[in-house]
Amino acid sequence: MAKIIYTLTDEAPLLATYSLLPVIEAFAGTAGVEVETRDISLAGRILAVFPEYLREDQRIGDALTELGELATTPQANIIKLPNVSASVPQLIAAVEELQSQGYAVPDYPENPATDAERDARARYDKVKGSAVNPVLREGNSDRRAPSSVKSYARKHPHSMGAWSPDSKTRVATMGHDDFAANEQSVVLPTDDVLTIRHTATDGTVTDLKTGLKVRAGEIVDGTFMRAAALDTFLAEQVAAAKESGVLFSVHLKATMMKVSDPVIFGHVVRAYFADVYREYGDALRAAGLDGSAGLAAVLAGLDDLEQGETIRAAFERGLAEGPALAMVNSDKGITNLHVPSDVIVDASMPAMIRTSGHMWGPDGAEADTLAVIPDSSYAGVYQAVIDDCRAHGAYDPTTMGSVPNVGLMAQKAEEYGSHDKTFVMTSDGRVEVVTAAGDVLMSHEVAAGDIWRACQTKDAPVRDWVKLAVTRARISGTPAVFWLDEARAHDANLIAKVTAYLAEHDTDGLDLQIMSPAAAAQHSVERIRRGEDTISVTGNVLRDYNTDLFPILELGTSAKMLSVVPLMNGGGLFETGAGGSAPKHVQQLVAENYLRWDSLGEFLALAESFRHEAQSFGNARAAVLADSLDAATERFLDENRSPARRVGQIDNRGSHFYLALYWADALAAQSADADLAAAFAPVAAALTQDQERIAADLIAVQGQPVDIGGYYRPDPAKTAAIMRPSARFNEILASLTGN
């Protein structure tokens, strides 16, 4: 029997799964497709790495490792929902919740001093950040807006703020002494085992990383950001925002780049509150309040300091006297500097561009913004789009073109600033990358506080990425641009490979170009305004950025993109969109029993997953399910059954009911499989007949607080009851399975 693995993740996507998965299981079972779940939530990942701390009945398997192994096989068919890419504050919160639920996992040791604490820290380090994606992504990414979604966006355009030619909004970036400027890159001629070592000015040698296995043809990079230059740059931007009268904001990726970007975030906090740290910095640092966990953590930690109230008053003066801060939630006083994971660049920058180049200020009003993106690698992309909007106004969703993406990410390609190859220097000296034979491949002179990082990009994923780009350009008849900068060391090596591998394909008649990211962005937005599509062929980080930037401008959200990962060994991974808004949706459910999460991404991924089953394993009924689901999704969009905005209207649960109704109708009406049509005819009739009753059931429960038993690990029984409140709907679904 064919099998689809449906992942259990976190926050709003997990809550929605309690409602949608019973529909999927009931419909899939009729086609002989088994659906199994695997828990890769943050809480599940924590429990999986500490089995000896738990009772036998509390232990769970290491689902992420299992799926990582499955992803390398032709049998893989995995639907991957958005998951928490845990920052340290999120990780600590999850640990505290699990402990309160009776799971005796150890505390997260921020400063491990014993062997047990070092062991616990090592295990937690495997869990935090974007730990899931590199494991599952054994293929490259193909993300695009399906025709049904594009058609809906043109018929029902989302709001776009007007742009003024006098807008002061701009991007500030370093351009020197940063990761882009200091990068060195090599292509390995043979398999090797590398060592990253630091030699201090006093001659002390420390191995930062040993046993780093590399393959022939692999690109290995090393670079660093100079802390002193970063501090000078940030001080200049704080002053510039104050002088210009614009909001000050910082845009990082403290979840994916889980080592480097929280450290940079701490530099930003200290730069904004320079006077406070000048006077009280020793006491704050001694208490672990250096700002890397955000202003909220600093303010919370003041309760334990002898001068806490005095220092709190100093922070309040800093807020009053400094430039106005962009706000995450002005009503609650949550600033851009409160929590590192609250302002993620790939979501926050498109939202700002869409809203007239504005962010929200402390007064609750929109204002022009100085967007600080310290590393200059991709900051120019956002500046190019801002310049275009300032010159030509906002984009028109009813006419604008699209920028689908083919992204390089297989086998952990270009995993920057995270995991086990990013280090904060503890002393002045030199960092070298050395071969097993002792040859120095790269060398950087560094100072204490500098952030040094390396990354790897294997050759096979690059070849596969080029093939996927050519394939998509051929199938869609769309020009494709490789976003690569010949002046950057890594990109120069990548360009050489792209040029070589393009020669392996028939590219006659295809429009394929290579441009720097900023030039490619400008080229793409010029075509967007003419209603023309352009495939962006990018590396891993830009894949993340572009698959939020352009969909948010074009569709209003990145959750409506079709995200397919053709795995290199023949399997399929189907991703369901971004989860940036997931925390707010959980808060609303708990407060009002209303879930606004839009599961459209799950619908799109599911159809492709069924189609993969049909093509890979010859299951004709899976193809019928896929085609009928596509028809149902198009009707779902045309009849506007996505979750509404407020209590008293359909929410996520109601949207799942209407999808089931339209899917059953489509199956009952199809002619490809008479037995399936006959099986679904009574289901479609029952759902249609009881439509008003079921919709009323789903709306009637709204408006009151509910208890789901936990944020990171909700109680299954409580959550299922909340997410499946219509007995009649549940009864009709059960009729399909015989349960």
Q: How many CB atoms lie within 10 A of CB 181?
A: 18
**579 pLDDT band (50/70/90 cuts)?**
low
Q: Is the pLDDT of residue 46 over 70?
A: yes
d(CA 543, CA 101): 38
Q: Kindly report, residue by residue over 588-630, the tens digit of the pLDDT.
A: 999 999 999 999 999 999 999 999 999 999 999 999 999 999 9
What does the DSSP 8-state code read for residue 707? Answer: -
Q: What is the pLDDT of residue 580?
A: 55
**682 pLDDT band (50/70/90 cuts)?**
very high
Q: Which of 265, 201, 196 is nearest to 230 (CA)?
A: 265
Write the DSSP string, 155-203.
HSPPP-----TT---EEE---SSSTTTT-EEEE-SS-EEEEEEEEETTS
Q: Kindly report, residue by residue over 3-15, the tens digit of the pLDDT.
A: 999 999 999 999 9
Q: What is the mean pLDDT of residues 138-142?
A: 91
Among all chains, which residue has been given the structure tokens 């984009």? Answer: 395
DSSP lists the bridge partners of residue 250 as 372
Q: Which two tokens stand for residue 588?
A: 């609303």
First vs last Cα of the chain: how many Å apart? Answer: 20
d(CA 117, CA 110): 9
Q: Which of 547, 549, 529, 527 is nearest to 539 (CA)?
A: 547
Length reported for the chain:
739
**581 pLDDT band (50/70/90 cuts)?**
low
**146 pLDDT band (50/70/90 cuts)?**
confident
Q: Is the pLDDT of residue 583 over 80?
A: no
d(CA 262, CA 289): 13
Q: Kindly report, residue by residue over 74-119, the tens digit of the pLDDT.
A: 999 999 998 887 878 889 999 999 999 999 999 999 889 999 999 9
Q: What is the pLDDT of residue 89?
A: 85
- Please tell me whether residue 549 adopts helix, strand or coil conformation: helix
Q: What is the pLDDT of residue 255?
A: 76
Q: Secondary structure of 211-222 in the HEC alphabet?
A: EEEECCCCEEEE
Q: Kindly report, residue by residue over 339-360, the tens digit of the pLDDT.
A: 998 888 998 999 999 999 999 9
Q: What is the pLDDT of residue 149?
A: 87
Q: Which two tokens stand for residue 324?
A: 């106005």
Question: CB-hemisphere CA count at 13 Å for 649?
Answer: 8
Q: To which H or E segment does residue 52 belong?
A: none
Q: In what order do the strands lie in the sheet with 2-8?
A: 33-39, 2-8, 77-80, 572-575, 562-566, 141-144, 405-407, 535-538, 480-483, 512-515
DSSP lists the bridge partners of residue 491 as none
Q: Which two tokens stand for residue 722?
A: 């909340």
- Please tell me whether residue 737 adopts helix, strand or coil conformation: helix
Q: Which of 416, 237, 261, 453 is nearest to 339 (CA)?
A: 261
Q: In percent, how much of the chain has pLDDT > 70?
A: 98
d(CA 651, CA 592): 11
- Backbone φ and ψ for 715, nearest 5 degrees, come out as -70, 125
Report strand pairing: 429-434 vs 192-200.
antiparallel
Q: What is the pLDDT of residue 415?
A: 81
Q: Which two tokens stand for residue 218?
A: 């692999």
d(CA 543, CA 531): 22
d(CA 232, CA 280): 20
Geometric angle at alpha carbon 239, from 234 and 243, rounded to 5°:
145
Q: What is the pLDDT of residue 419?
A: 67
Q: Which two tokens stand for residue 699?
A: 């709306």
Report strand pairing: 480-483 vs 535-538.
parallel
d(CA 331, CA 333): 6
Q: How far is CA 211 from CA 197, 406, 420, 626, in A?
A: 12, 32, 12, 45
Q: Kindly report, residue by residue over 519-539, the tens digit of the pLDDT.
A: 999 999 999 999 999 999 999
Q: Which residues contact 509 (CB under 8 A, 6 or more apart)?
A: none
d(CA 57, CA 44): 14
Q: What is the pLDDT of residue 2?
A: 61
- Backbone φ and ψ for 722, nearest 5 degrees, come out as -70, -40
Q: Which two tokens stand for residue 637?
A: 């969009």
- Backbone φ and ψ for 445, nearest 5 degrees, come out as -85, 125
Task: Compute, in degrees rounded to 10, the torsion defined by CA atoms 237, 238, 239, 243.
Answer: 100
Report strand pairing: 440-446 vs 429-434.
antiparallel
Contact 552, 536 (CB under 8 A): no
State the helix-helix crossing angle for 11-29 and 716-723, rounded to 10 degrees: 70
Q: Kindly report, residue by residue over 425-472, the tens digit of the pLDDT.
A: 999 999 999 999 999 999 999 999 999 999 999 999 999 999 999 999
Q: To which H or E segment does residue 230 belong?
A: helix 227-244
- Please tell me whether residue 503 adopts helix, strand or coil conformation: coil
Q: What is the mean pLDDT of residues 695-699?
A: 97
Burial annotation 75-102 (CB, 10 A radius, 16+ → b, else e): ebbbbbbbbbbbbbbbbbbbbebbeeee
What value does the CA radius of gyration of the chain take, rounded to a whole number of Å?
A: 26
Q: What is the mean pLDDT of residues 379-394?
A: 97
Q: How far is CA 582 from CA 90, 242, 596, in A?
A: 14, 33, 9
d(CA 194, CA 191): 10
Q: Is the pLDDT of residue 417 over 60?
A: no
Residue 516 backbone class (left: φ over 0; alpha: ψ -120 to 50; beta: rest): beta
Q: Kindly report, residue by residue over 711-734, the tens digit of the pLDDT.
A: 999 999 999 999 999 999 999 999
Q: Which of 315, 347, 307, 300 is nearest to 328 (CA)?
A: 347
DSSP lists the bridge partners of residue 515 as 483
* Predicted structure pTM score: 0.85
Q: Kindly report, residue by residue over 534-578, the tens digit of the pLDDT.
A: 999 999 999 989 999 999 999 988 878 888 888 998 999 998 866
Q: Is the pLDDT of residue 69 over 90?
A: yes
